[in-house]
Chains A and B, each alone.
Chain A
């Protein structure tokens, strides 16, 4: 029973980490209508910024983390300015193609700037797990899970209850209409990419804490896609539930089904679950249903 609880609790926490990355998808989508396929690459870039300030420049954490955050803000602003500024008001297809281009560019950029070496990632949070009545809880994931819940509710409040957030949502609805209403689409797009980049950096700190980083770490972006689609791209707090569902099923499958069949079914099972649910609810659990007036 303790092993089951260990798998279930850490699966839920791992799922919240996926949710944190998935919220990055959601924030960018809600404020700019771009499904950012390169979110995993943003996680790696965020991770390298932290590695740069903490390990390479050997700055104390109280300086390194705010500096990383500032660099992430600049990074998000630059990505929007270079890649997406000119696409405002253009077809969604053009934005999707640009996000694919961004993915390819970022991989090359990371290789050129940071090299292919696997590097030690600093332990920002204490690594030692908590053991409670025989149940092991991974401490960085627990801290990351709490952060994710706070971020999700904070962003949900921002997007649904504040004037600035609602104007971002209006942008995602339709660029031209938003511009007609006097909303600055450009500013909304900048805010979206800056938020997406900052979230990616927080995700990197939780994922890689005390482990390693290289350009291949972007795989977490693809693991988070089922979470985003399952919850519905617009549903920020819905990501928490979808993340927990994916994380727990993945962890329990790895713990109990993989040893029986001798293969990595755990990596496929969340995707099967997502396909099954999307068959019946194409917009996800909490996604918006678009009603079009003819």
Chain B
């Protein structure tokens, strides 16, 4: 009898203790957030910073906002190699295993693979990279935080003409590759800007090359003989290095303009030091990687308190800004519908309806408002142009407006 009582008491104690430890877990709703990554493709070199930014923001949100809302966001990276075939083959597994309501995207390769699947499966996707001409369509399910790379190239055209008080069009050559749809689209966008603004831009030629070019000296020699004002490269870091090396080989001081993803810091690391990048520029509609800003202070907080190891550069900025926009959307959705009471369609409604305030973006962007006519914000965007000064990244002036380009 006594033994029976002891056993009952022990059982009750164990049940009580188990229940107590289970209580917080029951109160917390976990939402899994999958994200496309690329550790074995063309963006493998910048992925640690990009994904590191995403993860740190999720940690920060869980610690600060998630606790209050009783929600834990869990990030799951999936290596799609920035390859549409790989992404398409992995998506059914991601969908069934994680049941996502919102997806971290990278860019054109994900979009190319999933443009019909996202609306079918009712999962919106958000990428921090530039939009594309082929995503500039009604009822998007894939959204970008920045305008197209062509818009960012046009920022350089406007800035350069203004800074040199130029009255003629800027003569440029674009170096591109057909290896990714996004790079071809950039060329189409720059062509559209040139066609709509013949007084501002004269696109002299397009040099098509491989993602890892062997030697572009001959192409650049032919290009500079056409009296051009600039070379624009928006492919990857290897492309930036090949063009800069070719310009140096032919002894040309024609300025080189790069995109943020293959920009000054990434190309500087790949060429053996930023001091080599004389007369090289970068323009982007995002926060610049400079110190003393609100965005840099937020990076410092993530670095010190949330284990963000990668350096303060464009790749990390992509990850942090993507993470901040996504957690702001998730927070608003949770507030409207309650944790676990919504699907991807409801999240998309919030993306289209809600203006993410600049305060929630911590200086990485201004107010962010998506629309149903394109994958990216169509107005009110600003950015920066930067160059290298004494081996260091230097923003050239204040905010640079993003020019309008006719839809292509």
Q: Beyond A127-B249, A216-B211, is A118–B45 a contact (Cβ under 8 Å)?
A: yes
Closest chain B residue to A268, Cβ basis: B178
Q: How far is the CA of A263 from the CA of B249 in the complex (A)?
A: 26
Question: What's the least CB distance linking B204 to chain A, in Å?
Answer: 9
Q: Are B218 and A7 in contact (CB under 8 A)?
A: yes
Q: Beyond A17-B214, A107-B40, is A216–B47 a contact (Cβ under 8 Å)?
A: no
Number of interface residues of B (CB under 8 A): 41
Q: Beyond A138-B215, A216-B238, is A120–B271 a contact (Cβ under 8 Å)?
A: yes
Q: Are B45 and A127 in contact (CB under 8 A)?
A: no
17 further A-B contacts with Cβ under 8 Å, apart from A14-B215, A118-B269, A214-B44, are A3-B225, A111-B44, A116-B39, A116-B44, A118-B238, A118-B241, A127-B249, A129-B217, A136-B250, A210-B245, A211-B241, A211-B245, A212-B238, A215-B44, A216-B211, A258-B206, A259-B206
Q: How far is the CA of A11 from the CA of B40 in the complex (A)?
A: 31
Q: Are A14 and B214 in contact (CB under 8 A)?
A: yes
Find chain A residues with CB under 8 A from B221 CB: 6, 129, 136
Q: Is B192 an interface residue (CB 8 A)?
A: no
Q: Given A11, A108, A210, A263, which contacts B178 in the complex, CB threshold below 8 Å?
A: A263
Find chain B residues with CB under 8 A from A212 CB: 212, 237-238, 241-242, 270-271
Q: Are B217 and A138 in contact (CB under 8 A)?
A: yes
Q: Beyond A117-B269, A212-B238, is A217–B178 a contact (Cβ under 8 Å)?
A: no
Most buried by A among B207, B213, B214: B214
Find chain B residues with CB under 8 A from A263 CB: 178, 208
Pairs A–B under 8 Å by Cβ, sample size 12:
A6-B221, A7-B218, A118-B45, A120-B241, A120-B270, A136-B250, A138-B218, A141-B215, A211-B238, A215-B44, A264-B209, A266-B208
Q: Beyond A116-B44, A212-B238, A214-B45, is A219–B210 a contact (Cβ under 8 Å)?
A: yes
1/0 contact string of B224-242 vs chain A (CB within 8 Å) = 0100000000001110011
Q: Given A6, A210, A259, which contacts B218 in the complex, CB threshold below 8 Å?
A: A6
Q: Are B215 and A214 in contact (CB under 8 A)?
A: no
Q: Are A264 and B177 in contact (CB under 8 A)?
A: yes
Closest chain A residue to B218, Cβ basis: A10
Find chain A residues with CB under 8 A from B211 CB: 216, 219
The 9 A-B residue pairs whose C-beta atoms are closest, nearest first, are A116-B44, A120-B272, A264-B208, A118-B270, A212-B241, A118-B237, A10-B218, A264-B178, A216-B212
Find chain B residues with CB under 8 A from A6 CB: 218, 221-222
**Interface on B for A, CB 8 Å cutoff?**
39-42, 44-45, 47, 177-178, 205-215, 217-219, 221-222, 225, 236-238, 241-242, 245, 248-250, 266, 269-273
Q: How far is the CA of A136 from the CA of B177 in the complex (A)?
A: 24
Determine chain A's interface SS by DSSP, over half rule. Answer: helix
Closest chain A residue to B204, Cβ basis: A259
Question: What's the least CB distance linking B150 to chain A, in Å?
Answer: 15
Q: Beyond A120-B271, A219-B210, is A255–B242 a contact (Cβ under 8 Å)?
A: no
Q: Is A182 an interface residue (CB 8 A)?
A: no
Find chain B residues with CB under 8 A from A255 CB: 218, 222
Question: What's the least CB distance linking B79 to chain A, in Å?
Answer: 11
Q: How far is the CA of A136 from the CA of B42 in the complex (A)?
A: 31
Q: Is A207 an interface residue (CB 8 A)?
A: yes
Find chain A residues with CB under 8 A from B269 CB: 117-118
